[in-house]
Structure 1
Amino acid sequence: MAVSAHERRTRILDVVRNAGSIRVVELAERLGIPAVTVRRDIAALAGEGRLERAHGTVSVRASEARGWRSGPGRVIGMLVPAVGAYFDDVVAGASAAAAAAGARVILGIAPYGADRDRAQIERLLDSDVDGLLLTPGWTPEEGLRGSDWLADLPVPAVLVERRAAPATPAAQLDAVCSNHRHGVLLALRRLSELGHKSVLLAARFDTRTAHEVRAGYTAAAHQLGLAELPVIDVSSSPGGEQELAALIAEAARSGARAVLVHNDQDAIQLPPLLRTHGITVPQDLALLAYDDVYASLSDPPLTAVAPPRSAVGAEALDLLLRRLKAGDSLPVHQLELLPTLKIRKSCGEPV
C-alpha cells in the first residue's frame, strides 16, 4: 500500500526530532524513501515552519520559521554540460543577475554523454539550494525524452537552452532558450541579400544547438527560395579541421560560394586552411559562423550569428526568482530570445 504524504512527513518529523540534526541522504536511507521524495517533503515542512534546512542537513526549528529564503540570500544551483566557450556567458549572465538580486549561484557540470545529470543535480540539492537552473547534457539522438523525473524535483527549476519533449511531465517546467532557427534565418537572409542562390551548411549534430541549426537551415532555405545543399557533418570528420576545409573546398570548386559553419570554434580555423586549397575568404567564398564566441578574432573577422547567451542566463535566473516568489500562481513560462547578426568582413561584397 502506498504511503500518503502526511504519513511520510510525520515519519520524517519523528526521525528528525530524535536525531536533532541529520543529513538528508541518511534520512532517506533510514526511512527507505527515495531522496528526491524526502527532499520534496522537507521543502514542504520547511515552508510550514516545522523544519530547517542547511547544507544538506535538516533539523527541527526551535524558533521562528525561516521557510525558503526570501529575497536576498537565496542560493541557486546551476547545471551546465560544459564550461568554456558558449556556456561561460550563460553562467556569467545568471551570476550577474543573481548578484543584483542578492542571491548567489553554485555551479555543477555534467559533461555531454556522461549520463551524470541526475548525480550532479543531487549534489546541488545537497547544498540546500532554493531552486535550479538546468542545462542537461541531452543529445539530439536522445531527444528530450527520459526527463520525467525533472518534474519531481523538490525545488523549482528552469530549463536553460533546453526544452522537454511535448506532453511530458517535464514539459511543465519553465524554460528560457535562444531561438536558433531564427538565427539561421538571419544568416541565410544576409547571404541571400548579397546575391547568393545557395548556402552550404557545415554543422555539428551532437548538441541541441546543432539540431536547431540544421532544422533552421532547411526551413530558411525553403522560405528564402535558396537551393538546399547536402550538409557537411562537422562532428564526424575524422580528419578534423583539415578534412572539413577539404570538403568545403571541394564544394566551392563545384559552385558553392557561401558557407555557414556551426560553430565558430571550427569556423575561425578555416580561412588559412582554405587558402592551402587556393580559396580565399571572402573573395572566393563567403564564410559566416554560428555562435560568435571567437568569430571576431578570425582573420578576416567573421560575420556571425550571436545567440543572446548572457541574456538567456539572466532571464532564466530572473524567471526562477519570480517562480520562487509566486509559486504555482505564476503560469508556466517558456521563453525564446532572438539572436542577432554581427556583420564583419568575411562575407564580402554583393556577388
Structure 2
Amino acid sequence: MTITAEQRRARILEVVRELGSVRVVDLAERVGSAPVTVRRDIAALADGGLLRRSHGTVSLPLDDSPSSAATDRNRVIGMLVPTVGPYFDEVIDGARTAATASGARLVLGITSYEAAHDRAQVAQLLDAGLDGLLLTPNWRPDGEVGDSTWVRELPVPAVLVERIAPPDSAAAQLDSVGSDHAHGVLLALRHLLALGHESVLLAARKDSWTARQVRAGYAEAVRLLGIEPWPVIDVGRPGLESESVASRIAEAVAHDGVRAVLVHNDREAIQLSPLLRARGLRLPDDLALISYDDVFAALAAPPLTAVAPPKRAVGAAALQLMLRRLEAGPDLPVHHVRLLPELKVRSSCGGRGTDKAA
C-alpha cells in the first residue's frame, strides 16, 4: 500500500519520539522507505523545526518532550486563510505536518480576500470545537486593518499568520508568525549589486498584503544600500497587463540604463520572460531578473533566481506557537516571530546559477 508523504513523515516523527535519537539509515529501515526519500522528509521536517539533524543522526528539538506531546494530543486547531493557492498551500502544509506530528487536528477555513467574510468563517470554525485559531485576516494591502477588536474577543487563543498587526490595533497583542519580506527584498538587491548592477527596478503587485510588504521593503532597501530608487512599476492582473509591464521595463533598460529587475510574483515573472525576449531582452544577458515568492520560479525558462519566503516553516512555527500558548496560557509572553527568506540563485540573473540558497 502506497502511503502519502504526510503519513510517512508522521511515522518518522513517531519513530524518533520512541527512540530519542536514531541514525538516518536505521530510520529509513524502520519506516520502510528508501534512504533518499527519508532524507528529503527529514530535511522538510527539520526546516519546520520538528526535527534536529546532526552527523547522520536525527533527534527531537531540545524543547520537545513526551509530556508536552501527550498534552497536545486531541487538540483541535482551526486555520483561516484568505485563499487556497500555491503560496498558502505551502503554509497550510507546514501547519498540517506540525499538527500531525503533535497529535493535534487541523481544521481549515477559507475566505475570499474580503474582510467582511472573516468573522463568518471564524464563527463556522469555532463550531468545530476549536482549542485555538491560526488566523490570516483579510487586512487591506494599504495596511488598514479596520476594527480588530473582535479578534481580541475570540473565545480561544489566536496566532496571526503572515500578518503584522499595527502597534495601535487591538490585534497587536496577539502572537504572530510571518516572513520578513523586507529582509527578502534586501537579499535580492544585495545580490544584484554584488553582480555589478548599480540600480534595480521593482515591478510588483499592489493587491495583497505580501505585495505591500515587498514595496515597503524596496523603499527601505534602496535607502540602506544607498542606491537610486525608481518608481515602482505596478503589476495588475497577471496576464492581462503583462504587455504594459514588459514595455515599461524595456523602456527603462533602453533609456535609463537599468539592467536589473525584481518582480513580485512568480506568475508575473514567468509571463514577463517571453514578453521581454520579444522586445530584444534576453535573461540574463540583457537583463537580470529575480522573482519574489519561489513557488514556480525554478520551472521557468530560464530558471528564475527567486526570493523564497519560508512558507512551510511559517505554518509549522505558527502551529507550534499555538500549542505552546495552550500549554502555558498567559504566562507565555506575546511572541512576534519573523522568519527570514532565502535567495535561491538560478540562472536568470547571471553569476552563480546553482539553485542554492545565497
Task: Kindly state the Cα deviation for residue 140 of structure 1 after the two structures are TM-superposed.
Answer: 2.0
Task: Kindly state the Cα deviation for residue 141 of structure 1 after the two structures are TM-superposed.
Answer: 2.9
User: How does 1:31-50 map onto structure 2 within 5 Å?
Assistant: none
**SS class of match (2:321):** helix
Task: Kindly state the Cα deviation for residue 216 of structure 1 after the two structures are TM-superposed.
Answer: 0.8
Q: Which residue of 1 aligns with 2:337?
A: 335
User: How does 1:286-325 map onto structure 2 within 5 Å?
Assistant: 286-325=288-327
d(CA) in 1 for partners of 2:327, 2:195 = 49
**SS class of match (1:256):** coil
Q: Which moved more, 1:233-242 or 1:206-215?
A: 233-242
What are structure 1's unaligned runs of at least 5 residues?
A: 1-68
Task: Kindly state the Cα deviation for residue 142 of structure 1 after the two structures are TM-superposed.
Answer: 5.2
**Deviations 1:265-306 (Å, cap 9, x if unpaired)?**
110111111111111111100000000001000000000000
Residue identity in the other structure for 1:215:
A
- Does 1:230 pair with 2:202? no
- Does 1:137 pair with 2:145? no
d(CA) in 2 for partners of 1:81, 1:177 = 15
Residue identity in the other structure for 1:147:
S
Q: Give the direction of change, closer, same or farther, for the CA distance of 1:236–1:90 in structure 2 (3 Å limit).
A: closer
**Deviations 1:220-278 (Å, cap 9, x if unpaired)?**
11111211011000027894222221221122112210000001111011111111111
- Does 1:247 pair with 2:248? yes
**SS class of match (2:284):** coil
Say if 1:144 and 1:163, in contact at 8 Å, map to a contact too: no
**Deviations 1:85-120 (Å, cap 9, x if unpaired)?**
110000000000000000111110111136201100
Task: Kindly state the Cα deviation for residue 169 of structure 1 after the two structures are TM-superposed.
Answer: 2.2
- Does 1:326 pair with 2:328? yes
User: How does 1:122-161 map onto structure 2 within 5 Å?
Assistant: 122-141=123-142, 143-161=144-162
The percentage of counterpart residues that share the same residue type is 60
Say if 2:284 and 2:347, in contact at 8 Å, map to a contact too: yes
d(CA) in 1 for partners of 2:333, 2:174 = 10
Provide the alpha-carbon RMSD of the alignment. Answer: 1.6
What are structure 2's unaligned runs of at least 5 residues?
A: 1-69, 353-358
User: How does 1:196-207 map onto structure 2 within 5 Å?
Assistant: 196-207=197-208
Count matched residues.
282
Task: Kindly state the Cα deviation for residue 148 of structure 1 after the two structures are TM-superposed.
Answer: 1.6
User: How does 1:10-21 map onto structure 2 within 5 Å?
Assistant: none
User: How does 1:163-178 map onto structure 2 within 5 Å?
Assistant: 163-178=164-179
Residue identity in the other structure for 2:245:
L
d(CA) in 1 for partners of 2:88, 2:349 = 27
**SS class of match (1:111):** coil
Q: Which residue of 1 aligns with 2:163?
A: 162
d(CA) in 1 for partners of 2:273, 2:235 = 16
Q: Which residue of 2 aligns with 1:182?
A: 183
Say if 1:180 and 1:216, in contact at 8 Å, map to a contact too: yes
Q: Give the direction of change, closer, same or farther, for the CA distance of 1:82–1:268 in structure 2 (3 Å limit).
A: same
Q: Which moved more, 1:307-316 or 1:135-144?
A: 135-144
Task: Kindly state the Cα deviation for residue 347 of structure 1 after the two structures are TM-superposed.
Answer: 0.5
d(CA) in 1 for partners of 2:143, 2:340 = 25
Say if 2:238 and 2:268, in contact at 8 Å, map to a contact too: no
Task: Kindly state the Cα deviation for residue 187 of structure 1 after the two structures are TM-superposed.
Answer: 0.2
Say if 1:145 and 1:165, in contact at 8 Å, map to a contact too: no
d(CA) in 1 for partners of 2:282, 2:236 = 24
Task: Kindly state the Cα deviation for residue 201 of structure 1 after the two structures are TM-superposed.
Answer: 0.2
Task: Kindly state the Cα deviation for residue 132 of structure 1 after the two structures are TM-superposed.
Answer: 0.2
Q: Which residue of 2 aligns with 1:22?
A: none
Q: Which residue of 2 aligns with 1:267?
A: 269
d(CA) in 2 for partners of 1:237, 1:128 = 39
**Deviations 1:39-74 (Å, cap 9, x if unpaired)?**
xxxxxxxxxxxxxxxxxxxxxxxxxxxxxx942111
